[in-house]
A and B are shown apart, each in its own frame.
Chain A
Amino acid sequence: MKILVCLKQVPHADARLDVRSDGTWIQEENIKFEINSYDTYALEEALRIKDAGEAEVVVVSIGPDRVTQALRTALGMGADRAIHVNDPDAEGSDSLGIAKILAAVARAESPDLILMGLMADDGNFAAVGPMLAQLLDVPHTTTALKLEKANGSFTVERELEGGALEVVKLGTPALITVQTGTNQVRYASLKGIMAAKKKPIDTRSVADLELSGQVGAAAAKVRIEKVYPPPKGEGAEMVEGSTQDVVGKLVGKIKELGLL
Chain B
Amino acid sequence: MGSILLVAEFQKGRIREATYELVAFARRVAEASGREVHSLVAGSGVEAAAEELAKKGGGTVHLVDHEVVAQYSLDPFLRAVTAAIEGASPDIVLFSNTPSGWDLAPRVAAAHDAAFVSDCFEVEAEGENLVLLRRVFNGKFDARVVPTLPVVATMQPGATSAFEGSADGQVAKLDADVTGESRTQFVEVREAEKKGVDLSKASVIVSGGRSLGGPEKFEEVIKPLAEALGGAVGASRPVVDAGWLPHEYQVGSSGQTVQPKLYVACGISGAIQHLVGMKSSNFIIAINKDPDAPIFEVADLGVVGDLFEIVPALTQAVKEAKG
Contacts and interface: CB of A to CB of B under 8 A. Distances in A.
Contacts of A169: 184-185, 187
Contacts of B285: 250, 253
A246 B310 contact: yes
B313 A238 contact: no
B147 A223 contact: yes
Contacts of A231: 142, 297
Contact of A251 (B135, B300, B321): B321
Contacts, number: 263
A21 interface: no
Nearest to B188: A167
A243 B306 CA distance: 9
B241 A163 contact: no
A19 B142 CA distance: 11
Q: Is the interface of B mostly helix, strand, loop or mixed?
A: mixed
Q: Which among B136, B193, B283, B294 has the greatest number of chain A C-beta atoms within 10 A?
A: B136
A200 interface: no
B243 to A, nearest CB: 6
Interface string A141-177: 1110000000000010111111111111111001000
A229 B142 contact: yes
B31 interface: no
B303 A230 contact: no
B159 interface: no
A184 interface: yes
A225 B300 contact: no
B145 A224 contact: yes
A259 B238 CA distance: 29
B255 interface: yes
A77 interface: no
Interface stretch (A49-57, A65-73, A123-131, A203-211): A123-131
A200 B14 CA distance: 54
Interface stretch (A27-35, A94-102, A109-117, A191-199): A94-102
A1 interface: no
B107 interface: yes
B99 A160 contact: yes
A107 interface: no
A248 B256 CA distance: 31
A240 B301 CA distance: 10
Contacts of B300: 235-237
Interface in B43-63: none
Contact of A224 (B139, B144, B298): B144
Contacts of A157: 190
B19 to A, nearest CB: 15
Interface string A240-260: 100110111111011101111
A257 B203 CA distance: 11
A52 B33 CA distance: 56
B184 A168 contact: yes
Given A230-B142, A259-B203, 15 more contacts: A124-B138, A127-B109, A131-B107, A134-B111, A139-B75, A174-B183, A222-B117, A229-B140, A229-B292, A232-B296, A238-B302, A246-B310, A251-B317, A254-B318, A257-B261
30 contacts: A17-B141, A19-B141, A96-B113, A122-B137, A124-B137, A124-B138, A130-B106, A131-B109, A131-B110, A131-B116, A133-B107, A134-B106, A140-B107, A168-B187, A169-B187, A174-B183, A225-B144, A229-B292, A230-B294, A232-B296, A236-B296, A237-B300, A243-B310, A244-B313, A247-B313, A248-B317, A250-B317, A251-B317, A257-B282, A257-B283
